[in-house]
Structure 1
Amino acid sequence: MNIRTVKVPAPDGTALATDVCLPGGAGPCPAVIIRTPYGRDAHRAELRGWAAHGFAALAQDVRGRHGSPGEWHPYGGHEGPDGTAAIAWVRAQPWSNGEVVAVGASYAAYCALVTALADSGGVQRDAVRPDAVHRADGPDAVIAAVPALGLTETAREPGGPERLWARAGWWAAHGDRRDSEPDALHRALAGDPRLLDHLPVARLGERLAEALGRELPSWPRLWAERGRGKSAASGSAVRLPLLAVGGTRDPFADDTVALWQRWGGPARLLLGPWGHRLTADPAAPPRARVNLGALYVRWARAALAGRLEPTRSGIIALGDSGRWHSAHGAAITAEASAPGRPETGRWWPFGSPTGLRLLHGAAFTADPDRPVRSDGFAAPAGGAQPDRCLLLSPPLPRPLDLAGPALVRLDVTADTPSADWAVRLTALDPAGRADPLAFGIVRRTDPPGRATGVTVPLGTLGRRLPAGTRLRAEVAGHHFPAHVRNPHTGEDPVTATRLVPSRRTVNPRGSALHLPVVARRRYVEPAPEICR
């Protein structure tokens, strides 16, 4: 199938480069549109796949990227209007039947969503099919995969701490340039291995610019944004169908779940054993693999035909087992793990021989000059001055299926006015091999020395743990370089230049881990469940 490139005008006349692939046969057809900053050329096989199933398929370079002129402002104000103009152009073509599905992954999912949110109510009659009703400006349905919902959502965790490694890597690769250099951060680190250690973080853009030979003027704006949850909240007013696709190993999985939970129209969640690239472990058995392209086509047809039940439902993969567990609305919310609802999972008390046994570090020092590293899973056996609280469970007597939100409740003190509480949960197989299971981090500003209760959400899990697995929990004050180091002074970690240690205590008696253990197994097949 041939792909041709056309110039689609934005509202201000900017001609955005757009690849179009039309299906064979006569007659108007539905369309899918992908608006991306990562290069429309990478979507050519995807366009042909959609066209082979009867859809007109389009991929457009966003303003200022690759083949499209203009200025590139990540998460700027152009994406909604430019997307609306692209959909209007599609509907005006003789090959269009008026139906449009906005599709995207990561930043492209953001583009699809802001186009849908730009018009949350208006509808229009289709000139080709008078019986059909379409949205006046936006798409008729949205497929949002691993959505990166905005500046704040990508820059900061829900609990406040700043994501350093991921944002430095993305901005070095894609920010303030027309094309991309995926390995830009690694190139910069080759010249200065301690590049991310230098303070303040606010000036990292200048250091990257020096290392890479180009300016990154938008870096400070990344940290100026503070509002969170705007896109997810706005979705409550939208009535069109949504398919939210995420991975339990994706750093934005919480945002995928939040978007699905708050969406106003028919909403489906597909949470697989994937990272941000939606790729499975190469060693995973064939039964663990899902043909996402075929599933997208089937869902799009059902959504456009109005065959989806007007409900919110979702499924979560149990790791690489090939099993999928159904999860409806409240079944995968943190509130489902509230005290007094033991049927929603299982608690592992700290300091208990049947829960999590304390190995060391009930009192430890979080030193930002020697932070706990995020890029390794070795845990120290002890030492005169522990840098974390370390706990271990006995071997699991039987396999466990986990599907839903995990969290830790801590009874803690810190002797500084600001403290981050980072919890990393690791599964140790019977041979002692470490496999990351869950992570969470929150920032607190409590009076120094006062005992306080802290809840650390650990994200939505989907795993099957074999018998003999042990759970290792680490409670620390830093998770670097994945996250900016808290200076503990109460200053903004992005602008701070002075770091001080923080002495911490964890009271095992008032602390516990909660995991979403599946008591009643409800296995489903992905496609029928998502498309019903």
Structure 2
Amino acid sequence: MTDALVRMDDGVRLATGVHLPGPAHRPCPAVLVRTPYGRAGHRAEARAWAARGFAAVVQDVRGRHGSGGDWHPYRSEAGDGAAALRWIRAQEWSDGRVIAAGGSYAAHCALATALLPAGPGRPDAVIAAVPALGAAETAREPHGPERLLARAGWWAEHGDRPDSDPGALGRALAADPGLLDGVPVTALPARLGRALPSWPGLWDTRRPGPLMARAERGAVPLLAVGGTRDPFADDTHRLWRAWGGPARLLIGPWGHGLTAAPGPEARPGHRLNLGALYVRWAHAALAGRLAAGPAGAVALGGSERWCDANTPFPQVRWEFGAASGPRPLHGAEFTADPARPVRSDSLDVPADGPPDRFLLLTPPLPRPLDLHGGAAARLTAVADTSPADWAVRVVALAPDGRADPLALGVVRRADPPGAPASFTVPLGPVARRLPAGTRLRVEIAGHHFPAHVRQPHTGENPVTATRLIASRRRVEAAGSALLLPAGRARGVDPLLETCR
């Protein structure tokens, strides 16, 4: 790999590594990866692209690692990406075709250029893996509540510094387990012991961010890749559905690290060579062989099958209290107390003390159940405070006693205090085969901490609040239900679905 300093429109130069195929394969198409995590970490990926006839260009984003300028997450990526694309197309080894690619923040960089007007600063296709669509989407759930743990970890490692400090939050929590309990949330940098001037501004963003708002204008082919255990799985689906050009979706039983982070429901049939799939898709996209519209495949965890992404199963309504539905155990009236919030990092349920959640349990499944599509909970409920957050977590209890999270949703409501309200809590996409004998545990709570900021119940902004009070809650079983996308899976070939 050779290094270059590529000049941006304002004169700032960004460190850029270039790995070329052999002379016999030039001029050639290029793959551009722009990353805040250090271009050196992409050497193996760059070599693999070059071995398959592509020029691999990996660039440190502005203000990070070897690049000049100041680091402001999500602010400069469209313009800097366009300048990088124009530079690539001016090189003698380039045939003019470029694919913008990347995972997580690098996917944001790729998408920012793909949504520019047609011209030399826009790529011909985009690969967006586990896309962090923007500050607004990463900071908040679609229905308001703020994502605390993941954002605190990312900002502690990467925020307001030219390099990275892997594991920074983990070390800080080991030294002070109550670090995230402090209020206000905006004062976290002081508790961490280092300046993070961009941290407070993160919470001023509102969904949808600019990328998602313009996704329908996306004209170039898109490959969106994610995992059912990735925190951005729902955003990956939304992007794919909204994209205006040919869009392909690939979702496996993986976390944010994709095939390197399989969930326990992953099976041998879900072991894909993503690099080979990306190359095949890239050739099809550049050759114009992809059909218009959305297509793709979603792995059915717990089985060997992949399902057609375009044909989710219809939702089946499981009424609370019905013979085959979730049966109330305790806590139909509970207290959502931010001083003792329901924890996101534990599946344990307290056996004593006043209830902190409404707990329900289904009978054992009489036969295997396939789930593929969007899940939701329909609630009729009352809170004596406004606003109030409602968190619904569904846990699969295997016949051998293992507990495994299946679905989660958190919404913020501003209903009049004490007035019953009926509303839906989206639980995101699920794709799982549950074996016979599985029970589903449904938990309805007012907090999901530390994954999400605690609702203070005072009417104050949750990230600037310094006072926390408890909220009395009641859920009516009558009129409440769990909505699950149930059906019978028919297998598809993920390679064919993503490359046709």
The answer to whether the superposition gives a TM-score over 0.5 is yes
Question: Aligned partners of 1:352 and 1:282: how far apart in 2?
Answer: 31
Aligned to 2:262: 281
Aligned to 2:106: 108
Aligned to 2:494: 526
Question: Aligned partners of 1:189 and 1:28: how far apart in 2?
Answer: 51
Aligned to 1:484: 453
Residue 387 (structure 1) shift: 0.5
In structure 2, stretches of 5+ residues that fail to align are none
Which of 201, 222, 225 is the equivalent residue of 1:242? 222
Question: Aligned partners of 2:441 and 2:286: how far apart in 1?
Answer: 46
Aligned to 2:52: 53
Distance 1:531 1:94, change over 3 A: same
Aligned to 2:200: 220
Question: Aligned partners of 2:434 and 2:464: how far apart in 1?
Answer: 42
Residue 445 (structure 1) shift: 0.8
Asked if structure 2 preserves the Cα contact closer than 8 Å seen for 1:289 and 1:322, the reply is no
For residues 446-457 of structure 1, the aligned pairs below 5 Å read: 446-457=415-426
2:168 maps to amino acid:
A
Aligned to 1:20: 18
Distance 1:518 1:25, change over 3 A: farther
For residues 291-306 of structure 1, the aligned pairs below 5 Å read: 291-306=273-288
Please state whether the residue corresponding to 1:511 is helix, strand or coil: strand
Aligned to 2:476: 507
Question: Aligned partners of 2:209 and 2:2: how far apart in 1?
Answer: 38
2:466 maps to amino acid:
T
Asked if structure 2 preserves the Cα contact closer than 8 Å seen for 1:288 and 1:320, the reply is no
Asked if structure 2 preserves the Cα contact closer than 8 Å seen for 1:233 and 1:262, the reply is no
Please state whether the residue corresponding to 1:169 is helix, strand or coil: helix
| Aligned residues between the structures | 497
Aligned to 2:74: 75
Aligned to 1:394: 363
Moved more, 347-356 or 103-112: 347-356
Aligned to 1:368: 338
Aligned to 1:412: 381
Asked if structure 2 preserves the Cα contact closer than 8 Å seen for 1:34 and 1:60, the reply is yes
Residue 285 (structure 1) shift: 4.0
Moved more, 489-498 or 30-39: 489-498
Aligned to 1:143: 127
TM-score computed with the length of structure 2 as normaliser: 0.97
Residue 52 (structure 1) shift: 0.9
Please state whether the residue corresponding to 1:347 is helix, strand or coil: strand
Asked if structure 2 preserves the Cα contact closer than 8 Å seen for 1:318 and 1:403, the reply is yes
Please state whether the residue corresponding to 2:487 is helix, strand or coil: coil
Question: Aligned partners of 1:105 and 1:460: how far apart in 2?
Answer: 20
Moved more, 474-483 or 221-230: 221-230
Residue 71 (structure 1) shift: 0.6
Residue 194 (structure 1) shift: 1.0
Question: Aligned partners of 2:4 and 2:426: how far apart in 1?
Answer: 46
Aligned to 2:327: 357
Aligned to 1:313: 295
Question: Aligned partners of 2:179 and 2:412: how far apart in 1?
Answer: 24
Aligned to 2:140: 156
Residue 282 (structure 1) shift: 7.7
Asked if structure 2 preserves the Cα contact closer than 8 Å seen for 1:420 and 1:444, the reply is yes
Question: Aligned partners of 1:112 and 1:143: how far apart in 2?
Answer: 7
1:103 maps to amino acid:
A
TM-score computed with the length of structure 1 as normaliser: 0.91
Which of 164, 168, 185 is the equivalent residue of 2:169? 185
1:297 maps to amino acid:
V
CA offset digits 1:407-455 (Å, max 9, x no partner): 0000000011211000011001001110110110000011011000121
CA offset digits 1:327-350 (Å, max 9, x no partner): 21xx45xxxxxxxxxx71322111
Residue 360 (structure 1) shift: 0.5
Please state whether the residue corresponding to 2:43 is helix, strand or coil: helix
CA offset digits 1:244-279 (Å, max 9, x no partner): 111111111111111111111000111111111113
Question: Aligned partners of 2:398 and 2:174: how far apart in 1?
Answer: 35
Which of 168, 179, 183 is the equivalent residue of 1:195? 179
Correspondence 1:474 to 2:454: no
Aligned to 2:89: 91
Question: Aligned partners of 2:120 and 2:40: how far apart in 1?
Answer: 29
Aligned to 2:149: 165
- Percent of aligned pairs sharing the same letter: 64
